[in-house]
Every structure is written in structure tokens, then in C-alpha cells.
Amino acid sequence: MLVRSLEIQGFKTFPDKTVLQFHDGITAVVGPNGSGKSNISDAVRWVLGEQNVRTLRCTKMEDVIFNGTPQRKPLGYAEVTLNIDNRSRRIPFDKDDVSVTRRYYRSGESEYLLNKVSVRLRDINELFMDTGLGRDGYSIIGQGKIDAIVSAKSEDRREIFEEAAGISRYRYRKEDSERKLDAAEENLVRLRDILAELESRVGPLKEQSGKAEKFLNYSAEKKSLEIALWLRQLDQSAAVLHQYDDKITLARTQQESAQRELAALDKMTEKNFQGITSCASEIDKIRQRSASCEESAARKDGEADVLLNDAHHAEETVRRLKNEQTSAVDSGERIRTEIQGKEQQAAE
């Protein structure tokens, strides 16, 4: 297994994409203090999944992103890729080239890629376990680390030797299994508690379930009774409906005959109206005739009055003439008497 190259972009002092090639033999990075040499080993630690910001010499994870200079604006994300020659299959991944990428954004989002495929941090950790390259590997010996190893407690030293001996994978798995076992035990305790609590509720629940069963039976019975009632009401309503249908049919027949009668009456009314119209014109004519008759009667009355008057005058004339006749007779008598007296006188 050989580290072939390291690609850094946006990580600490590397704003531009920088590729470091590692050839056979020893590669040395030389530079003045503070020029960024240790940032390269930080990049290797980081890409292999380091989570401890103090180990990366930062106060928060965002500090690994290029922070800007007076000449250059800060960047939004950091990305490091470690390319490894795996022809020896030292890494349990069936590819000759293994490339591990870690990307981190200022928003806090991060991602890991294995040969450009998104993976979990756990996958990266497991991949490098026992290779000495991993997060807790002994391959990266920082400043003062040798001192720490030599003066460390035997317990801490043991971890380094275990990693070198290749048993840390099994230790990790053991720890993982123990963690899972603990969690399962905790769950078991919780389940036992729940079971105990549930058991105490069994009695009242049984009672409640009896009641619920009764309720269900009653409600089923109620439902079937309600259905029967509805069916009965439906039948009754159907019968009433039938009666109303008959009545409607009868009423319709009656209405039709009434309409026929009405039509006949209309016709008759029309005829009568025509008769009335002709009677009215007849009445008008009669009225005119009566008016002219009345006129001629009035005229005749006038003529009769004139004739009566004439008759009256004639009667008066007759009466006068009779009186004159009487007086003429009287005067004739008297004259005759005088004649007789004269004749006598004359005779004498």
C-alpha cells in the first residue's frame, strides 16, 4: 500500500487546488515556520475522518476552510482527496486505486466519498482499521508525539501496538458489539419495566375489554335492529308512495277530463261571447229603432196635442155656436112674438 498523492483545495493555507505527489522513497516538505507544512499532515488526518478539532489545531470545524487573507476572499468549502495504491489489497476494498474524499461546507454540511461514491464516516473508519493509516493510526506522528508515546501510560501504548498488530479492528468490533449489547440490555430492562406496568394493567384492561366486547355486541345488535327498522320504514314508505302514485294517476285522469271540460267551456264561452257580441249589435239596432220610434211617438204626441187643442177649440166653437143658436132661437122667438104683437097691432 502506497500513498500516491494528496489533493487539497480550500483547506487551511491551500485556497487553490494543490496536488502533492508521493513517489517511492522519502518525500520531505521543507519550509519556514508557519508556512503551512503541518497543514498537509492535518489534511491527511482530516480526510481520514478526524473529528477532534483540537487535533486539527482548530477551535471549530469551520476553521479548516480557507479563511481569507487581505488579498483573497475566504472560501465556502474545503476538500481533500487522498489517493492510495491498493494493488497489495492491504485495504479491504477490491480496487487497485482507492481515493478517499472529504468535503466540508461553511453551512456545516459534510460528505465523504470513496472512489467518488458517497459513503458514511463509519465506512471510512472501518476501511482503514488495522492499516495504521486510520484516524487513530500510528502513521502520523506529529510534533512531540514520540515523547507522548514513550512517556504514555502502558494502557495508551497498548492501543498503538494493537493497531500495529492489526487487532484493533477486532477490538473495535468487540467494542461495537459490547455497545450494541449494552443498548440491547438497556432495551430489555425498559421492556421488562413496560411489561411489569402492562401486567398491572391487565386486570382492569380485562374488565374494560369485557365491557368493550359487550358494547360491541350491543352496538352490533343495535345496528341490525336499526337496519330492520329502516327496512320496515322503507317498506311503509314504499306502500305510501304507491298509494300516492295511484292518487296522482287518478288526479291526472281527473285533471285531463277537467281540462277537456275546460276546453269545451272555453269553446262555449267563445261562442257565447260571439252571441253576446251579435246580441249587443242587435240591441244597438233595437235601441236605435226604439229611439226613432220614441222620436216619432213624441212627434205624434205633439200632433195629437195640436189636434186635441184643435178639437177643444172646435168644441168651444160648437158650444158658442150652440149658445148663439139658442140666443138666435130666443131672439127669433122674441122677434116672432114682437111680429105677432105688431101684426096684432097692425090688425087692430
* Strand-pair partners of 83: 5, 99
Which of 9, 13, 83, 101 lies at the binding interface for ligand ATP (CB under 6 A)? 13
H-helix segments, the chain: 37-47, 121-128, 145-151, 154-165, 168-347
**What letter would DSSP give residue 49?**
T
Which of 18, 38, 125, 139 lies at the binding interface for ligand ATP (CB under 6 A)? 38
Report yes or no: 61 and 165 within 8 Å, Cβ to Cβ.
no
66 binds ligand ATP (CB under 6 A): yes
Which of 1, 36, 125, 160 lies at the binding interface for ligand ATP (CB under 6 A)? 36
16 binds ligand ATP (CB under 6 A): no
Which of 1, 4, 20, 39 lies at the binding interface for ligand ATP (CB under 6 A)? 39
CB closer to ligand ATP out of 48 and 75: 75
State in angstroms the smallest separation of the CB of 19 from ligand ATP: 18
71 binds ligand ATP (CB under 6 A): no
Report residue 268 as a C-alpha cell: 262555449
State how far Cα 278 lies from the chain centre: 74
CB closer to ligand ATP out of 18 and 38: 38
139 binds ligand ATP (CB under 6 A): no
State in angstroms the smallest separation of the CB of 12 from ligand ATP: 4
Question: In the window 167-226, what residues touch ligand ATP (CB under 6 A)?
Answer: none
Could you give the angle at which helices 168-347 and 154-165 cross, rounded to 10 degrees?
A: 90
Q: Measured between alpha carbons, how far is residue 11 from residues 63, 174, 189 in Å?
A: 9, 35, 47
Query: Which of these segments, 63-71, 157-165, 202-210, 279-287, binds ligand ATP (CB under 6 A)?
Result: 63-71
Query: Which of these segments, 16-24, 59-67, 117-125, 169-177, binds ligand ATP (CB under 6 A)?
Result: 59-67
Q: Name which of 85, 79, 80 is nearest 2 in CA terms.
A: 85
Residue environment code for 281-315, b if the CB has 16+ CB neighbours within 10 A, otherwise e: eeeeeeeeeeeeeeeeeeeeeeeeeeeeeeeeeee
Place of cell 486510520: 134
Question: What is the C-alpha separation between 6 and 81, in angstroms, rounded?
Answer: 6
- Sheet containing strand 77-85, strands side by side: 18-21, 2-9, 77-85, 97-105, 110-114, 117-119
Size of the site for ligand ATP (CB under 6 A): 14
45 binds ligand ATP (CB under 6 A): no
CB closer to ligand ATP out of 25 and 31: 31
Query: Which of these segments, 61-69, 190-198, 236-244, 265-273, binds ligand ATP (CB under 6 A)?
Result: 61-69
State in angstroms the smallest separation of the CB of 71 from ligand ATP: 12
Which of 1, 3, 5, 37 lies at the binding interface for ligand ATP (CB under 6 A)? 37
| 89 torsion bin: left (phi>0), alpha (psi -120 to 50), beta (else) | left
35 binds ligand ATP (CB under 6 A): yes
What SS3 string covers 149-178? HHHCCHHHHHHHHHHHHCCHHHHHHHHHHH
State in angstroms the smallest separation of the CB of 25 from ligand ATP: 22
Which of 67, 85, 121, 171 lies at the binding interface for ligand ATP (CB under 6 A)? 67
State in angstroms the smallest separation of the CB of 62 from ligand ATP: 8
> Interface residues with ligand ATP (CB under 6 A)?
12-13, 31, 33-39, 63, 65-67
